[in-house]
Amino acid sequence: MNVGVVGLGAIGRAVCRALDEGIPGLRLSGATARDREKAERFLKGLRSPAPFLSLDDLIDASGLVVEASTQAHLEEIAPKTLKAGRDLVVLSCGGLLGRQDWVKLAQANRCRILVPSAAIAGLDGVKGAQVGTISSVTMETRKPPRGLSGAPWIEAQRIDLDRITEETLIFEGPATEACRAFPANVNVLAALSLAGIGPEKTRIKLYAVPGLTMNRHRITVVGEFGRLAIEVENVPSENPRTGKLSYMSTIALLRELTASLRVGT
């Protein structure tokens, strides 16, 4: 299957390198990004150079498209990809909240929307628990202040991240609000809400912690199955908003597409 990549940030580049190095049954068909010159330089440096393509041409050339761009760009990527009957891997999954129309579009065109676990663990347990009754899903996230830079909530509240000297609660609320307030920071929360009880009932506390070197997530799920507690500490990639586990889990998802043995829910 040919795989196209949209966005060549930390995740997109890592996915391209993995495909270039070899994932059985998959081939990198090309990529697209905002900075064409930089993108072409990267793509030419691969062992098997891949072309830079427009979004439309990339979709035409691919059986599966990996979105590693932004929520705003997903508004264009998703309908074009799904109308063409191509499977779509979504990293900016906060953009999926409330988009039942995209799910219906995928159904109508016999394709799929796939969401990697990204920077958290335990989604298999949450999906299993959802078969029964879940009473609450909460998440605490702690990040270095610079990892929150540029978020709409930070700008709207005029929060000076450079003046934070101790652990500070920046935001508390449901996933529906958090994903709008921090579109580049809490996609893991969106994935958690989609796997569980929905974005209105899934809640987050987001902290800025000076001196923190890793992104920390603590998830607590309570239901008829019992209690599930997960804690993850992610080493950031070259992009402080993105943990390395985000692209590792995406590569794992791609490997599983053609695997003969699948482990986990």
d(CA 184, CA 152): 10
Q: What are phi and psi of 168, to 5 degrees?
A: -135, 130
Percent of the chain with pLDDT over 70: 98
Q: What are phi and psi of 19, to 5 degrees?
A: -65, -40
Q: Does pLDDT of 174 surpass 80?
A: yes
Q: Over the chain, what is the mean pLDDT?
A: 95
Strands 64-67 and 2-6: parallel
Q: What is the mean pLDDT of the segment spanning 202-208? A: 97
Per-residue model confidence (pLDDT) at position 219: 97
Q: What is the mean pLDDT of the segment spanning 25-54? A: 97
Q: Which helix (H) or strand (E) element contains residue 174?
A: strand 168-174
- Please say whether the beta carbons of 196 and 217 come within 8 A: no
Q: Does pLDDT of 240 surpass 90?
A: no
2-117+245-257: which CATH number, 3.90.550.10, 3.40.50.720, 3.40.50.1240, 3.30.300.30?
Answer: 3.40.50.720
Q: Does pLDDT of 243 surpass 80?
A: no
Domain ranges of the chain: 2-117+245-257, 123-241
Q: What is the pLDDT of residues 178-187, one digit of tens each?
A: 999 999 889 9
Per-residue model confidence (pLDDT) at position 264: 83
Residue where the block lists tokens 């101790």: 166
Q: What is the pLDDT of residues 72-113, one digit of tens each?
A: 999 999 999 999 999 999 999 999 999 999 999 999 999 999
Residues annotated as catalytic (active site), given as ranges? 217
Q: Does pLDDT of 238 surpass 80?
A: no
Q: What is the pLDDT of residues 50-83, one digit of tens each?
A: 999 999 999 999 999 999 999 999 999 999 999 9
Q: At 70, list the tokens.
A: 């932004």
Q: Does pLDDT of 244 surpass 90?
A: no
- Please say whether the beta carbons of 42 and 14 come within 8 A: no
Q: Does pLDDT of 241 surpass 70?
A: no
Percent of the chain with pLDDT over 90: 88
Strands 215-223 and 226-234: antiparallel
d(CA 256, CA 169): 38
Per-residue model confidence (pLDDT) at position 87: 98
- CATH number corresponding to 123-241: 3.30.360.10
Name the β-bridge partners of 221. Answer: 137, 228
Q: What is the pLDDT of residues 145-164, one digit of tens each?
A: 998 999 999 999 999 999 99
Same fold, 2-117+245-257 and 123-241: no
